[in-house]
Amino acid sequence: MHYEYETQLESFYLIFQPIIHILSNSEYEMARFEILLRTREGNCYPEKIVNTYIKSEESNKIFLEWYADQVTKLCQKYPHYLFHLNLHPEQLLLPSTKNFLHALKPFARQIYIEITEKSFSEDNLNEAKLSELLEFITTLGYKISLDDVGTGRNTLELVSRNIQAIASIKFSLIPFSDTEHLTLKRCIEKWLLLADTNNVCFVVEGIESRKIAGCLYKLGVIWQQGYYWGKSVEL
């Protein structure tokens, strides 16, 4: 099984999607990049394989040792860039994930640990435990980003209660593609108010047109991500 896990890793590679900071109507900067995992077998996110890796300590250790090596090289090559690095909530419960975070600690100032909105058991990871883990991550010097707020368990109430530990919240337009325009606008405004009030970065993902980017900018959304701003690339 150990050999099988390592063989699968040979097909993995990382790509990067820019997170844009809009400075004015005519100026912006590529301030950060989200690290995205892909497999050469289909050039897509290897969800099934990753879900297998994170189910046990042994396989998660193998996967994160590979990941730490890749991220170390990246941070050394681009010391002035900031990166968002995704972790599944239940990975945080495994000792190998804590080892992974300790291994990357020298580069913590460059890294946002982005906790994905994936399904997980309340029995394994209740809010009290999640709060404890967020504190552990920030103690190591990392910044925390919560992904896909407004969906699943990343509700306005949960984020509000843990806002002191959070540096960035990300709202994706994709799950709300069928939502009425005014309802979506009000939802975004609520999240933006929470972020601005607490000096937290608010990023809207899934932006695919100039029109959407412009509308969001008028609302005050100056951090944006999506295909309109640039496709994911290998650095």
**Closest by Cα among 134, 139, 141 to 169:** 134
Distance CA 195, CA 178 (A): 25
What integer pLDDT is reported at residue 73 of this predicted model?
96
What integer pLDDT is reported at residue 121 of this predicted model?
54
Counting DSSP H helices and E strands in the chain, the numbers are 8, 8
Are 101 and 142 contacting, i.e. CB atoms less than 8 angstroms apart? yes
Q: Say if pTM beats, i.e. exceeds, 0.85.
A: yes
* Tens digit of each residue's pLDDT (9 = 90 or more) over 54-113: 999 999 999 999 999 999 999 999 999 999 999 998 899 999 999 999 999 999 999 999
- The residue assigned the tokens 């050999």 is 3
Six token digits for residue 123: 């029995």
* Cβ atoms < 10 Å from Cβ of 15: 17
Domains of the chain and CATH, by start = 2-229 (3.20.20.450)
Task: Give residue 194's region: left, alpha or beta (phi > 0; psi -120 to 50).
Answer: alpha
What integer pLDDT is reported at residue 136 of this predicted model?
96
